[in-house]
Chain A
Amino acid sequence: MIIENISLNRRQFLGGLLSTGAFVVASRLVPEELCAQTAGAAIFNTKADTASLHPSVYLGIETDGTVFIVTHRSEMGTGIRTSLPLVAADELDANWNRCRIEQGVGDTRYGDQNTDGSRSIRDFYDAFRVAGASARSMLISAAATQLNVPASELTTANHEVVHAKSGKKLGYGALVAAAAKLPVPKAAELQFKPKTAWKFVGKERPIYDLNNIATGKAEFGLDVYREGMVFASVEHPPVVGGVVKSLDDKAALAVKGVSQTVTLDAPKPPLLFQTLGGVAVIGNSTWAVTQGRKQLKVEWNDGPHANFTSAPFTAAMVARVKQPLKVARNLGNVDTEFGKGGKVIEAVYTSPMAAHASMEPPAAVAEFRNGKAEIWCPTQNPQAVQDTVSAALGIDKKNVVCHVTLLGGGFGRKSKPDYAAEAAILARKLGKPVKVVWTREDDIRHDFYHASAAVYHKATVDAKGKPTAWLQRSVFQPIGSTFGAPGPLDFELDLGLVDAPYDIPNIRAENAGADAHVRIGWFRAVTNNFHAFASHCFADELAHAAGRDSLEFMLDMLGPGKVIDLKAQGVNYSNYGADIAKYPVDSRRLRRVLEVAGERSNWGKKKPGNGWGIGIAAHRSFNTYVASVVEVEIDAQGRVKIPRIDQVADPGIVINPDRVRAQLEGAAVMGAGLAMYGEITATNGRIDQKNFDGFRVARMNDAPVQVNVHFVESGNLPTGVGEPGLPPVIAALANAIYSATGKRIREMPFSKTKLA
């Protein structure tokens, strides 16, 4: 477990660390009081809690038949706020129009709330089935008594209990009072609907907030206004760890609407999600405080990270990754194989830092009253808000109420609630509600960045053109650094470094952490992005070197397919926090998505050339299997157009197909944009990019034109789709560019390589 690696200077952060560890295996994902009525212990009572029938923390039914379903996971665009309630409503046989969704506050009674790691469906599918089935069972029991018939003669349909023999029907609302007197059934005794009876799961359903979004009514974090609220904008130290040396705020205070400035303490290591420190400008409008900030004269003591400059830093990572590093996986003996005199191929791939740049910058509103903090913010993890705010204010976690608004994007950034802590600290200091607004420049310059990396590959291929030894090494800025760990946390290696599922007798994986210098955090798909870029481009390189078709070569590398037993190879694989027995690394499923991708994309039908090319890659991440086929057209000026991407996914049972497609479409766009343009650099510890002019993201005119999504119906347990669509796109795009031009790109972003 990662905890052992981390120096915990501040004991109270232990809880926070657990709830923030994206891939830490939580000891108890689903609360044991799941099936109990627990309104009394709530931090904040929902309508589900106070409803007459309340069989689960996630569900309640009123006597008028209204069903309240609580989503405790955050909505940042995946559709989870709709999908989990659909699972419960399906088991309940509810009329969806009579279901109301409530957003749960941060509260451990819901189980884990850190909405990242593509695991909301994986970890809570069962819990929401139980919630729906419990209520249904109690309603049926109540109806059996009322109609004086055996429960076995009763069925349910569309918000009613039905007795087919007599033709009698009883609405759910009318049964609630009687059902509420019954004990909540044990989960093990519940009968779930057979797949053939599913009404919502597997069917298309618009997201709950669709109309509100289309009409501008949807409420994001930035849209919260409280009575008597003031605004704050914070000038953060330009270098992480910097402190205020001198401050002249006279000109700032002279700006109309600015009332005062507040100097915030610099964080003590480990950084965790603490505030960065700096100077907050307080005033009566967003405009006033952002204008006031421009008038601040601050001198900083930068601290040790002012020596961080990206180009030499990357060069050092590249030099290091060519040397032997700490071994994380060792199967067979690659050195012996390399020494046999066959053809050995090696390559180094680099990937820069990137910013999440969600369209809604970080923002939070906080009030502090009678020793209690109340926060409204767009957060992926309201329990981390509780932990961080409770540590910052020295109050009990139970006295922090975190209301979760809709998130204008998250991508991992909004799991890290430094901005919420800023609002809470200021609210207590000022004695009034405070809204902290981060500008886009704040967001780009003070992110928890996606790590930069250098990845080295070496392999040898036998006479039949199949690899017999595979060595990969990775050096990157570890997320562990943010938590005070001396190097990468195990889970960072588990994402595409130690889990290569190949049918190769000799495999070795090695790694080392680079100094972080900035805050490093998880970004959509995390270290998979650079590991997948390197691995699947390298596989393509090997295929071409062997004179073989890339798809055929990749399938051959996987062999006939099997469950890969990493434990037997001495790898303590965290498997995205999932039980390896239920969610094994299964190369047959990876084979299958590759095969389907070949079929659906007409792979091999058209000969590359004349500026047209096609590339393929497949990657397992977050327990889901995705293959991507990318087509490119490259004009005489070397401009890359992406007319088509095919995404083939095996995520097991699909809850809401339209939203799964949307995630895979979006991942293709974000992946292509990241690969082509995404780059954050530092000079003397300061981030060079400030806004969307410097940090380029995909736009309508350069995004993939058509993304086709296909599912492989495996019937396996449902797994996540938020992230897995991204990693294979990066490699498939590089492979397509090679196919079109013969130029092998080993450096992200690809736009740095001249193609004309």
Chain B
Amino acid sequence: MVNLTVNGKARTYDGDPDMPLLWYVRDDLRLTGTRFGCGAGLCGACTVHVDGQAVRSCQTKMSTLAGKTVLTIDALSTNGTLHPVQKAWVTHNVPQCGYCQSGQIMSAVALLKATPNPTDADIDRGMAGNICRCGTYQRIRAAIHTAAKERA
């Protein structure tokens, strides 16, 4: 039995303790904003926050989440107000197909929390784990700079 909080709601899980958080939020809770990309921690599409840290939900076993607080993209904006990072994504028209962008945004939010005014090199380091096959990296970089300015 694992008690955890997901997007502000208390949840209890009693299934396979090895099941990754990814499939818990998607298949069990139907929070589908978190995407499946590789299942191996290589692409970042499944990035969520656990206690404020960006993690790959496909590599995070349910057994490790007792007492933890999970935030997914589905609850990043509150009361219909976009998070500054989401706003910057919209301003720069970042997405093409959009599939990886949930993970990109969650990684960017965590990056800005740790590094409020990132350099290009900080962004390269912080975002290198998130693949975008459409190739939107240049706009992601610009959007992160914009979000940093807005929050400063």
- Known: A216-B74, A359-B99, A408-B97. Is A665-B89 also a contact (CB below 8 A)? no
**A360–B105 contact, CB under 8 A?**
no
Considering only residues 95-111 of chain B, those with a C-beta below 8 Å from chain A are: 95-102, 105
Residues 58-87 of B, flagged 1 when their CB comes within 8 A of A and 0 if not, give: 000000000000001110110000100010
**A670–B133 contact, CB under 8 A?**
yes
- Closest chain A residue to B132, Cβ basis: A359
Q: Which of A211, A218, A409 contacts B133 (CB 8 A)?
A: A409
- Known: A222-B36, A286-B26, A408-B98. Is A214-B19 also a contact (CB below 8 A)? no
What residues of B have a CB within 8 angstroms of the CB of A357 in the complex? 133
Q: Which of B73, B93, B100 contacts A662 (CB 8 A)?
A: B93
User: Within 8 Å of chain A (Cβ to Cβ): is B34?
Assistant: yes
- Known: A359-B35, A406-B97, A658-B93. Is A700-B128 also a contact (CB below 8 A)? yes
**B16–A216 contact, CB under 8 A?**
no
**A440–B37 contact, CB under 8 A?**
yes
**A215–B96 contact, CB under 8 A?**
no
Residues 351-373 of A, flagged 1 when their CB comes within 8 A of B and 0 if not, give: 00000011111000000000000
Q: Which of A77, A78, A256, A662 contacts B16 (CB 8 A)?
A: A256
Shortest Cβ distance from residue A13 to the other chain B in the assembled complex, whole angstroms: 29
- Known: A215-B82, A692-B131. Is A700-B137 also a contact (CB below 8 A)? yes
CA distance A75 to B99 in the complex (A): 12
Considering only residues 103-152 of chain B, those with a C-beta below 8 Å from chain A are: 105, 120, 123-125, 127-141
Shortest Cβ distance from residue B100 to the other chain A in the assembled complex, whole angstroms: 5
Shortest Cβ distance from residue A96 to the other chain B in the assembled complex, whole angstroms: 16
CA distance A357 to B101 in the complex (A): 16
User: Within 8 Å of chain B (Cβ to Cβ): is A306?
Assistant: no
What residues of A have a CB within 8 angstroms of the CB of B37 in the complex? 359-361, 440
CA distance A286 to B16 in the complex (A): 12
User: Within 8 Å of chain B (Cβ to Cβ): is A313?
Assistant: no
User: Within 8 Å of chain B (Cβ to Cβ): is A555?
Assistant: no
- Closest chain A residue to B85, Cβ basis: A214
- Closest chain A residue to B23, Cβ basis: A287
What residues of A have a CB within 8 angstroms of the CB of B123 in the complex? 700
**B133–A287 contact, CB under 8 A?**
no
CA distance A76 to B43 in the complex (A): 18
Considering only residues 3-47 of chain B, those with a C-beta below 8 Å from chain A are: 16, 19-20, 23, 26-28, 30-40, 42-43, 45
CA distance A440 to B95 in the complex (A): 21
User: Within 8 Å of chain A (Cβ to Cβ): is B1?
Assistant: no
**B105–A667 contact, CB under 8 A?**
no
CA distance A106 to B66 in the complex (A): 46
Residues 678-705 of A, flagged 1 when their CB comes within 8 A of B and 0 if not, give: 0000000000000111000111110111
Q: Which of B28, B35, B95 contacts A214 (CB 8 A)?
A: B95
Residues 641-678 of A, flagged 1 when their CB comes within 8 A of B and 0 if not, give: 00000000000000000100011011111100100000
Shortest Cβ distance from residue B23 to the other chain A in the assembled complex, whole angstroms: 4
- Closest chain B residue to A408, Cβ basis: B99
**A285–B40 contact, CB under 8 A?**
no
CA distance A714 to B41 in the complex (A): 46
- Closest chain A residue to B106, Cβ basis: A216
- The number of chain A residues with a CB under 8 A from chain B is 68
What residues of B have a CB within 8 angstroms of the CB of A222 in the complex? 32, 35-36
Shortest Cβ distance from residue B119 to the other chain A in the assembled complex, whole angstroms: 13
- Known: A211-B90, A215-B76. Is A77-B98 also a contact (CB below 8 A)? yes
CA distance A697 to B125 in the complex (A): 16
Q: Which of B36, B72, B96 contacts A361 (CB 8 A)?
A: B36
CA distance A576 to B19 in the complex (A): 47
What residues of A have a CB within 8 angstroms of the CB of B133 in the complex? 357-359, 409, 411, 670, 697
Q: Which of A217, A288, A692 contacts B38 (CB 8 A)?
A: A692
**A214–B82 contact, CB under 8 A?**
yes
What residues of A have a CB within 8 angstroms of the CB of B72 in the complex? 216
CA distance A570 to B20 in the complex (A): 60
Interface size class on chain B is 35 or more
What residues of B have a CB within 8 angstroms of the CB of A670 in the complex? 133-135
CA distance A220 to B95 in the complex (A): 14
User: Within 8 Å of chain B (Cβ to Cβ): is A198?
Assistant: no
**A669–B137 contact, CB under 8 A?**
yes
**B93–A216 contact, CB under 8 A?**
no
**A359–B100 contact, CB under 8 A?**
yes
**A77–B96 contact, CB under 8 A?**
yes
- Closest chain A residue to B129, Cβ basis: A699
Residues 183-221 of A, flagged 1 when their CB comes within 8 A of B and 0 if not, give: 000000000000000000000001101110111111110
Q: Which of B28, B33, B120 contacts A215 (CB 8 A)?
A: B33
**B35–A286 contact, CB under 8 A?**
no
CA distance A704 to B135 in the complex (A): 9
Considering only residues 403-462 of chain A, those with a C-beta below 8 Å from chain B are: 406-411, 437, 439-441
What residues of B have a CB within 8 angstroms of the CB of A219 in the complex? 32
Determine which residue in B35, B40, B99 has the highest number of CB atoms from chain A within 10 A of its CB, and name it.
B99
- Closest chain B residue to A206, Cβ basis: B93
What residues of B have a CB within 8 angstroms of the CB of A257 in the complex? 16
CA distance A351 to B98 in the complex (A): 29
CA distance A396 to B19 in the complex (A): 41
Shortest Cβ distance from residue B132 to the other chain A in the assembled complex, whole angstroms: 7
- Known: A215-B76, A286-B27, A700-B124. Is A76-B97 also a contact (CB below 8 A)? yes
**B90–A206 contact, CB under 8 A?**
yes
**A408–B96 contact, CB under 8 A?**
no
**B135–A78 contact, CB under 8 A?**
no
Determine which residue in A231, A290, A408, A410 has the highest number of CB atoms from chain B within 10 A of its CB, and name it.
A408
CA distance A416 to B149 in the complex (A): 44
**B42–A691 contact, CB under 8 A?**
yes
CA distance A77 to B132 in the complex (A): 11
What residues of B have a CB within 8 angstroms of the CB of A665 in the complex? 135-136, 138-139
Shortest Cβ distance from residue A155 to the other chain B in the assembled complex, whole angstroms: 32
Given contacts A79-B96, A666-B136, 17 further A-B contacts (CB under 8 A): A206-B93, A220-B99, A222-B35, A286-B23, A287-B19, A359-B35, A360-B35, A360-B36, A360-B99, A406-B98, A665-B139, A670-B134, A670-B135, A691-B40, A692-B40, A699-B130, A705-B138
6 cross-chain pairs, A with B, having the tightest CB-CB distances, nearest first = A216-B33, A669-B135, A408-B99, A77-B97, A77-B96, A213-B98
Q: Pull 5 A–B residue pairs with CB atoms less than 8 Å apart, ordered by A.
A: A216-B31, A286-B23, A287-B23, A359-B100, A408-B100
